[in-house]
């Protein structure tokens, strides 16, 4: 299949290009900075005050209501990855109901925010396409059911018919209502019972024409509808349908409805007269409604492989020679042609966000449809799209957490993408840093853990928060930095005469062993604590071991000796060992 | 497709470089007005200038951030033949309230005899190392052995490229399978030495950098060069801004003997080539996942290039100035878009 070459669109940056012709740029998190410059480094200096421009994709990610779509579909996605049974149709319906909920909420708010109307129409299109894909690919309805499901599809997306019909029926004199004959819409949608109900209003009024209405009522009542769960085979249905069709045709030949042009029109519709159907363009409003109606009254037992022929011709007939199809039309046509790859590709191009193609393709992959449609790079395609979608989420200040699960389910590149992007999450607060850390720790991303802890430690150190710096350093397992911070602590002690962050120092535990200086710091503090608790012999033993271990920094040797002096005066302390050690200490 | 928001940069002359910090919350700009400005993104999403100071006695060509593991550190390079390292000092509380921060110079690197055209920090796993390249054709690699004392830097390596250098790029891969590697681009119009991109690799045994590859097919002046982030691939991807945009694939070849001491040999392939700018290309840069490459050219456009899942590259967007002067206050949020119906010559 050929690549449809879509021309890239050009975006104009207001306020750039006036003084200087060149544009410089730099990638940011989810955006680009663009600025005027002159790479030739010669030529006119900049007369005005230059600006920089932050440019980002106009993405739906910014709408708070769409964010709900992202978080709820995330739950469905994660659930889908774990299931083993064939419940794909219901998962597809779940996704669609999430889309609908989002759409309704947007429509409710439509009055308040003008820039929400665009997403509404996008969501409508998305749901329309998804629904069709569900019918054709996931549910894979066979002949017979296929048409019924397509009818449902059309009815769902042209729901104003219900409202209109209700309005007519609830009015004082329905038969006099100006939209009365829009009952045709019901017929076009194959809703014969409801159509009969509306027509009965007319029948009760005019006695002379009641027989005509009764005749129409009869036709409508006897129209065969295939029952997929019933015992009737498709062939039997077809025979029955053909008889009924011939009966409708006979009515036309006999001019049964000649007295009422509306009923005559309805009869022509029942026999599937193309010209008559095309005359109902306004009521049908779309070529795919025309397609389904046409099939309903001419080929109700249409088989999936035959669909594309009727789709193409319906579109051509409906749109006429002058109108050209919209992107949505092309996508639907590709679906009717069972060209999955084209559907995905065209959706990727037409939509501003990867949400739709990523989730749909993932679902189709689970249904094993990508392989069966000769997409041997199928799972690569799925992963590619999911990675794109998740990467887009990552730039958002709260949605990035959802992205993590998506990366987890991309076996080839998910991990490395996550490693790259999680490092860049701004560590605004300790709480956020810990959240990021936990994600990395859960996945044994040790380098990212170390790096994040180091960044936090360094930041704490710059702001003179030694305790915080030390805990982060211990978490980073950074021995060199631990030494540095320990030395700072000791320096502080030398200057002030007391320790800070006692809680931390007293509870170092085995972390103390990270570096010699840290060990010394911990033990030295312990010495002071023992001394303070008057446990002199323990204190003395500890001090001794500190001196013998030679891990004390040089600057503190005098201090240690000074610390030893009062101990020597204590009666409980053994003096012989300490004298021996004191002489051993280098001068 | 895109929305743009402008910020008055308040430089008094041309801006030559803008650099985001690692987390995208801070930004540095440098200019021909010899100063560097640092901007911080507030919680409100707005950018505020928190520092502005004179850094050199000539145009400042590039500015770059060190990895936040090393603290808040910037490096700049200039026409005045020097490169400098700056560190932010945590100020008094009233400074913080006024939203100002202070940067002090830690060192000036004066080894170059000519304009210093690029300055880059090496990947963090190599320690705190700074690299410069100059019009005198020398690439210099400095190291700060004590990361707590940024005033001490030692010149570890001087690589003579024989051609005036315009740009450098480190291979970001920290995999042990790849020794440190740096690519150098030259905008020299000398035709004797035709390959304008050289790749140097660090040798553990000799403890020196040796030339591993010259891209002989790149014969025109090179203005920018950038390795793509490594996504666990065994090969390297390098984008080059020259008379067109070129993306190279460098595949390390297996060594014949386990003890071979020379630099890695590469098989060089062209992954893509785009001449849509139809003119000199000045800058190329990868986004963080290397799924998008942006390029800027003489045609005044920034183009975005993307590969689909089949590795076919295509231009997916174009940015261009609309040629209008900036509004005074500078916060014009505008969406303007035209569908270009001109078929770009390809």
Please tell me the distance from the alpha carbon of residue B330 to that of residue A57, in angstroms, as a whole number: 20
* Residues from chain A contacting residue B304 (CB–CB below 8 Å): 8
Look at residues B117, B250, B63 and name the one whose alpha carbon lies nearest to residue B173: B250
Residues A91 and A179 in one domain: no
Find out whether A473 and A451 touch, Cβ atoms under 8 Å: no
Neighbours of A17 (CB within 10 A): 20
Q: Which is it for strands B47-54 and B129-134: parallel, antiparallel or unpaired? A: unpaired
- Asked whether the beta carbons of residue B309 and residue A25 sit closer than 8 angstroms, the reply is no
Tokens of B269: 């392939």
> H/E/C letters for each residue in B106-172?
EEEECCCCCCEEEEEECCHHHCCEEEEEECCCEEEEEECCCCCCCCCCEEEEEEECCCCEEEEEECC
* Residue A223 within any structural domain of the chain: yes
pLDDT (0 to 100) of residue A275: 92
| DSSP secondary structure of B239-308 | EEESSSEEEEEEEEPPPSSTT--SPPPEEEEEEEEE-TT-S-EEEEEE-TTSSEEEEEETTSEEEEEEE-
Is A79 within 8 Å of chain B by CB? no
Is A580 within 8 Å of chain B by CB? no
Tokens of B55: 């850094």
Look at residues A335, A332, A338, A269 and name the one whose alpha carbon lies nearest to residue A298: A269
Residues A381 and A269 in one domain: no
pLDDT (0 to 100) of residue A162: 79
Q: SS3 for A540? A: helix
Shortest CA gap B238–chain A (Å): 17
To probe the interface with B, which of A2, A25, A376 has the most B CB atoms within 10 Å?
A25
Look at residues B83, B102, B128, B109 and name the one whose alpha carbon lies nearest to residue B38: B102
- Helices and strands in chain A: count of H runs, count of E runs: 30, 4
Q: How many distinct structural domains can be found in chain A?
A: 5
Q: How confident is the model at residue A310 (pLDDT cuts 50, 70, 90)?
A: very high
Name the closest residue on chain B to residue A21, using Cα atoms.
B300
The mean pLDDT value for A408-428 works out to: 93
The mean pLDDT value for B32-58 works out to: 93
* Residues from chain B contacting residue A454 (CB–CB below 8 Å): 69
Residues A379 and A440 in one domain: no
How far does Cα B209 stand from its chain's mean position?
Answer: 20
Neighbours of A16 (CB within 10 A): 32
pLDDT digits (tens, 9 = 90+) for A130-150: 999 999 999 998 999 999 999
Q: Above 90 in pLDDT, residue B224?
A: yes
Q: SS3 for B213? A: strand
pLDDT digits (tens, 9 = 90+) for A330-364: 999 999 999 998 999 888 888 767 899 999 999 99
Tokens of A188: 């076009």
CA angle A59, A61, A64 (to 5 degrees): 130
pLDDT (0 to 100) of residue B84: 97
- Domain interval for residue A246: 153-284
Counting beta carbons within 10 angstroms of the beta carbon of residue B17, is it exposed (0 to 12), middle (13 to 18) or buried (19 or more)? buried
pLDDT digits (tens, 9 = 90+) for B273-298: 998 888 899 999 999 888 899 999 99
Between residues A2 and A586, the one the model is more confident about: A586
User: What average pLDDT does the structure give for chain A?
Assistant: 85
Q: Which residues 190-219 of B are in CB contact (within 8 Å) with A?
A: none
Residues A392 and A506 in one domain: no
Find out whether B217 and B185 touch, Cβ atoms under 8 Å: no
Please tell me the distance from the alpha carbon of residue A544 to that of residue B51, in angstroms, as a whole number: 52
* End residue of a domain, out of A268, A284, A300: A284
Residues A383 and A432 in one domain: no
pLDDT (0 to 100) of residue B345: 29
Neighbours of B123 (CB within 10 A): 18
Please tell me the distance from the alpha carbon of residue A413 to that of residue A384, in angstroms, as a whole number: 9
* Residues from chain B contacting residue A447 (CB–CB below 8 Å): 174
| DSSP secondary structure of A327-340 | HHHHHHHHHHTT-H
* End residue of a domain, out of A61, A83, A112: A61
Please tell me the distance from the alpha carbon of residue A68 to that of residue A108, in angstroms, as a whole number: 15
Q: Which residues 142-161 of A are in CB contact (within 8 Å) with B?
A: none
Most confident of A42-46, A536-540, B6-10, B235-239: B235-239
Q: Above 70 in pLDDT, residue A47?
A: no
pLDDT (0 to 100) of residue A113: 57
By Cβ distance, the residue of B303, B309, B339 closest to A381 is: B309
* Residue A95 within any structural domain of the chain: yes
Please tell me the distance from the alpha carbon of residue A422 to that of residue A399, in angstroms, as a whole number: 12
- Helices and strands in chain B: count of H runs, count of E runs: 1, 26
Please tell me the distance from the alpha carbon of residue B165 to that of residue B182, in angstroms, as a whole number: 13
Alpha carbon dihedral B122, B211, B243, B234, in 10-degree steps, equals -70
Q: Which position has the token pair 């810990």?
A: A434
Query: How much is the CA Rg of chain B, to the nearest whole Å?
Result: 21
Tokens of B110: 């004066």
Q: Above 80 in pLDDT, residue B210?
A: yes
Q: Which residues 118-177 of B are in CB contact (within 8 Å) with A?
A: 124, 148, 174
Q: What percent of chain B has pLDDT over 90?
A: 63
* Residue A43 within any structural domain of the chain: yes
* Residue A161 within any structural domain of the chain: yes
pLDDT (0 to 100) of residue A110: 67
Reported for B96-103, long-range contacts at CB under 8 A and 24+ positions apart, including other chains, are B99/B40, B99/B48, B99/B50, B100/B50, B100/B51, B101/B38, B101/B40, B101/B50, B101/B51, B102/B51, B103/B36, B103/B38, B103/B51, B103/B53, B103/B74
Q: Above 90 in pLDDT, residue A89?
A: yes
- Asked whether the beta carbons of residue B20 and residue A25 sit closer than 8 angstroms, the reply is no
Q: Which residues 78-97 of B are in CB contact (within 8 Å) with A?
A: 90
Residues A538 and A474 in one domain: yes
Between residues A183 and A428, the one the model is more confident about: A428
**Residue A476 phi, psi dihedral angles, 5° rounding:** -80, -15
Q: What is the ipTM of this complex?
A: 0.89
* Residue A15 within any structural domain of the chain: no
- Asked whether the beta carbons of residue A3 and residue B312 sit closer than 8 angstroms, the reply is yes
* End residue of a domain, out of A8, A32, A61: A61
Q: SS3 for A54? A: strand
pLDDT digits (tens, 9 = 90+) for B321-341: 887 776 543 333 333 332 222
Find out whether B170 and B120 touch, Cβ atoms under 8 Å: yes
pLDDT (0 to 100) of residue A132: 96
Residues A42 and A53 in one domain: yes
* Residue A487 within any structural domain of the chain: yes
Residues A207 and A98 in one domain: no
Please tell me the distance from the alpha carbon of residue B15 to that of residue A26, in angstroms, as a whole number: 12
Residues A43 and A68 in one domain: no
Q: How confident is the model at residue B258 (pLDDT cuts 50, 70, 90)?
A: low
- Asked whether the beta carbons of residue B341 and residue A421 sit closer than 8 angstroms, the reply is no
Q: Longest C-alpha distance within chain A, in Å?
A: 133
Name the closest residue on chain A to residue B325, using Cα atoms.
A15
Instruction: Provide the terminal-to-terminal Cα distance of chain A, rounded to the nearest Å.
Output: 86
Between residues A328 and A550, the one the model is more confident about: A328
Find out whether B104 and B79 touch, Cβ atoms under 8 Å: no
Please tell me the distance from the alpha carbon of residue B15 to that of residue A584, in angstroms, as a whole number: 65
Tokens of A473: 């350093």
Is A175 within 8 Å of chain B by CB? no
- Asked whether the beta carbons of residue A12 and residue B326 sit closer than 8 angstroms, the reply is no
To probe the interface with A, which of B1, B2, B19, B299 has the most A CB atoms within 10 Å?
B2
Residues A165 and A47 in one domain: no
Name the closest residue on chain B to residue A381, using Cα atoms.
B309
* Residue A313 within any structural domain of the chain: no
* Residues from chain A contacting residue B321 (CB–CB below 8 Å): 12-13, 15-18, 21, 23, 36
Is A484 within 8 Å of chain B by CB? yes
Q: How confident is the model at residue A60 (pLDDT cuts 50, 70, 90)?
A: low
Q: How far is CA B120 from CA A561, B241, B282, in A?
A: 49, 17, 17
pLDDT digits (tens, 9 = 90+) for B77-104: 999 999 999 999 987 666 666 678 899 9
Residues A185 and A278 in one domain: yes
Is A443 within 8 Å of chain B by CB? no
Name the closest residue on chain B to residue A6, using Cα atoms.
B316
* Residue A117 within any structural domain of the chain: yes
Q: Above 70 in pLDDT, residue A471?
A: yes
Q: Which residues 261-290 of A are in CB contact (within 8 Å) with B?
A: none
Is A50 within 8 Å of chain B by CB? yes
Residues A437 and A561 in one domain: yes
Is A62 within 8 Å of chain B by CB? no
């Amino acid at each position: 299949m050929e690549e449809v070459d879509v021309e890239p669109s050009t975006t104009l940056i207001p306020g750039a290009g006036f003084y200087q012709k060149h544009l410089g740029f730099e990638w940011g998190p989810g955006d680009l900075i663009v600025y005027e410059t002159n790479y030739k480094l010669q030529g006119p200096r900049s007369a005005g005050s230059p600006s920089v421009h932050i440019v980002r994709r106009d993405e739906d990610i910014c709408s708070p209501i769409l964010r709900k779509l992202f978080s709820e579909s995330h739950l469905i996605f994660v659930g889908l990855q774990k299931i083993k049974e064939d419940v794909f149709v219901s998962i597809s319906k779940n996704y669609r109901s999430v889309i609908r909920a989002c759409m309704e909420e947007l429509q409710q708010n439509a009055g308040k925010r003008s820039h929400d109307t665009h997403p509404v129409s996008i969501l409508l299109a998305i749901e329309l396409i998804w629904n069709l894909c569900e019918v054709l690919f996931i549910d894979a309805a066979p002949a017979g059911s296929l048409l019924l499901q397509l009818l449902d599809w059309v009815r769902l997306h042209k729901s104003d018919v219900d409202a209109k019909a209700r309005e007519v029926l609830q009015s004082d004199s329905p038969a006099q209502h100006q939209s009365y004959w829009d009952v045709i819409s019901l017929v076009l949608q194959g809703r014969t019972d409801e159509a009969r109900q509306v027509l009965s209003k007319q029948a009760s009024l005019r006695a002379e024409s009641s027989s005509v209405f009764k005749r129409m009522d009869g036709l409508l009542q006897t129209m065969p509808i295939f029952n997929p769960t019933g015992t009737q085979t498709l062939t039997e249905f077809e025979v029955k349908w053909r008889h009924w069709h011939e009966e409708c045709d006979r009515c036309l030949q006999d001019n049964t409805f000649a007295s009422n042009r509306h009923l005559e029109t309805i009869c022509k519709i029942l026999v599937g007269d193309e010209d008559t159907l095309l005359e109902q363009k306004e009521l049908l409003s779309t070529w795919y409604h025309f397609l389904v109606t046409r099939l309903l009254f001419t080929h109700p037992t249409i088989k999936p492989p035959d669909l594309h022929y009727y789709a193409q011709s319906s579109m051509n007939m409906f749109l006429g020679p002058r109108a050209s199809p919209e992107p949505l039309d092309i996508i639907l046509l590709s679906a009717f042609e069972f060209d999955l790859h084209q559907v995905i590709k065209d959706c990727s191009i037409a939509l501003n966000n990867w949400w739709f193609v990523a989730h749909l393709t993932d679902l189709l992959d689970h249904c094993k449809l990508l392989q069966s449609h000769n997409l041997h790079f199928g799972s690569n395609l799925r992963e590619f799209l999911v990675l794109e979608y998740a990467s887009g989420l990552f730039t958002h200040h709260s949605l990035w957490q959802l992205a993590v699960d998506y990366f987890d389910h991309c076996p080839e590149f998910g991990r490395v993408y996550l490693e790259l992007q999680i490092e860049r999450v701004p560590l605004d607060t300790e709480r956020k840093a810990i959240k990021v850390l936990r994600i990395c720790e859960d996945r044994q991303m040790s380098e990212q853990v170390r790096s994040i802890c180091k960044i936090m430690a360094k930041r704490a150190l710059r702001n003179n928060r030694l305790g915080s710096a030390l805990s982060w350093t211990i978490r980073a397992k950074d021995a060199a930095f631990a030494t540095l911070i320990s030395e700072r602590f000791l320096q502080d002690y030398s200057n002030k005469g007391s320790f800070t962050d006692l809680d931390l120092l007293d509870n170092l535990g085995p972390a103390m062993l990270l570096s010699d200086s840290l060990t010394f710091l911990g033990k030295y503090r312990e010495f002071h604590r023992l001394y303070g608790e008057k446990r002199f012999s323990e204190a003395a033993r500890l001090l001794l071991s500190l001196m013998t271990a030679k891990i004390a920094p040089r600057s503190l040797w005098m201090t240690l000796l000074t610390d030893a002096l009062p101990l020597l005066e204590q009666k409980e302390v053994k003096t012989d060992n300490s004298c021996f050690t004191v002489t051993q200490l280098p001068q | 497709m895109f929305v743009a928001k402008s910020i008055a940069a308040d430089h008094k002359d041309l801006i030559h470089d803008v650099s985001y910090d690692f987390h995208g919350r801070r930004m540095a700009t440098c200019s021909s007005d010899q100063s560097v400005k640092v901007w911080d993104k507030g919680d409100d999403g707005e950018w505020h200038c928190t520092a502005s100071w004179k850094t050199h006695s000539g145009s400042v060509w590039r500015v770059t951030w060190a990895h936040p593991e090393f603290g808040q550190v910037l490096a700049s390079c200039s026409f005045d033949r020097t490169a400098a390292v700056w560190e932010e000092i945590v100020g008094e509380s009233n400074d913080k309230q006024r939203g100002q921060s202070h940067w002090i110079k830690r060192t000036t690197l004066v080894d170059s005899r000519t304009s210093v055209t690029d300055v880059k920090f090496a990947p963090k796993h190599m320690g705190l190392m700074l690299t410069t390249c100059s019009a005198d054709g020398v690439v210099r690699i400095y190291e700060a052995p004590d990361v707590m004392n940024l005033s001490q830097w030692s010149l570890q390596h001087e690589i003579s490229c024989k051609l005036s250098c315009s740009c450098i790029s480190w291979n970001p891969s920290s995999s042990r399978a790849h020794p440190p590697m740096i690519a150098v681009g030259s905008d020299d119009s000398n035709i004797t030495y035709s390959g304008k991109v050289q790749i140097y690799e660090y040798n553990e045994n000799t403890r020196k950098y040796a030339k591993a590859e010259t891209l002989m097919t790149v014969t025109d002046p090179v203005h920018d060069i950038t390795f793509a982030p490594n996504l666990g691939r065994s090969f390297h991807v390098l984008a080059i801004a020259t008379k067109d945009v070129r993306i190279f694939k460098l595949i390390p070849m297996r060594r014949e003997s386990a003890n071979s001491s020379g630099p890695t040999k590469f098989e060089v392939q062209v992954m893509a080539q785009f001449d849509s700018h139809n003119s000199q290309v000045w800058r190329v840069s990868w986004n963080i996942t290397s799924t998008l490459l942006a390029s800027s050219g003489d045609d005044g456009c920034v183009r975005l290039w993307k590969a689909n899942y089949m590795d076919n590259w295509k231009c997916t967007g174009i940015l261009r100035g609309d040629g209008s002067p900036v509004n005074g206050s500078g916060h014009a949020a505008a969406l303007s878009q035209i569908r270009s119906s001109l078929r770009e010559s390809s």
